[in-house]
Amino acid sequence: MTAPDAGRGIGTGTGYTGAYGDGASGDSSFRILHVSTGNVCRSPITERLTRHALADRLGDPLWGGLIVESAGTWGHEGAPMEANAEAVLADFGADASGFVGRELLDEHVIRADLVLTATRDHRAQVISMGHSAGLRTFTLKEFTRLVRAIDPTTLPPLDDGMVERARALVRAAAALRGWLLAPTAEADEVYDPYGAPLPFFRSVGDEINQALDPVVTALTGAPARA
């Protein structure tokens, strides 16, 4: 069994929020939940890189109603992210401050409009929790593959609000899942760097960043700045 990346989501209750929409949980938001094992390596990196990419495209504070969080299936409540994970975020100019780990709970899955996991095992664990999570839970790389196949002109325009666009993106990805399979099982995995040296963390960070790019572009309708 892979060692847990020691911690759980953002834990502070602060999200990446903005102005539009009606989230699945009934609030005016769309919640993206990143899940890994310990919530100190992969999911914190993914959470903070997602926030950084959204800010890059939209500018602060025009965040469009999106809330980005993370948690761990073996999360260690209150734990900081790993130092190497912080170093990776610094490489991208992303903010690692204020992170507090948390354990994945039912309430996190219930509130999430989109759950992106590091591995297929994490995806299975989230779905096994119930809460009709199957149609909104993907591995990160799986979701990226499906998003690449979606014609952005079929999504609601941003004038309708980013929350509506995000919901439509999830529905479209779920509809494609049975038709667009991974070339190999490993293609949908982001492997655990817990305990590895910084170069391996950096390779994982690059992998996550590349997977996030088309997702954030589809959400915002804007490519990354050169």
What are the pLDDT digits (tens) for 164-220? Answer: 999 999 999 999 998 888 888 889 999 999 999 999 999 999 999 999 999 999 999
**C-alpha distances out from residue 169 to 52, 54, 87, 97, 125, Å:** 20, 16, 32, 30, 23
Q: What is the pLDDT of residue 19?
A: 29
Confidence of residue 10 (pLDDT cuts 50, 70, 90): very low
User: Residues of the chain with pLDDT > 90: what percent?
Assistant: 72
**C-alpha distances out from residue 42 to 79, 151, 207, Å:** 14, 29, 11
User: Residue 189: which residues within 8 A CB-CB, separation 6 or more?
Assistant: 118, 119, 120, 139, 141
Confidence of residue 72 (pLDDT cuts 50, 70, 90): very high
Give the whole-angstrom CA distance, residue 143 versus residue 2.
23
89-100 pLDDT, tens digit each: 999 999 999 999
- What integer is the mean pLDDT of 110-132? 96
142-161 pLDDT, tens digit each: 999 999 999 999 999 988 88
Given a cut of 60, whether residue 69 has pLDDT beyond it is yes
Spatial CA neighbour of 214 closest among 203, 224, 225: 224
Q: What is the pLDDT of residue 47?
A: 98
Provide the b/e sequence for 85-116 (b: ≥16 CB within 10 Å): bbebbeebebebeebbbbbbeeebbebbbbbb
pTM value is 0.88
Q: What is the pLDDT of residue 178?
A: 84
Confidence of residue 13 (pLDDT cuts 50, 70, 90): very low
Say if residues 11 and 100 touch (Cβ distance below 8 Å). yes
Average pLDDT over the chain, rounded to an integer? 87
Q: What is the pLDDT of residue 7?
A: 34
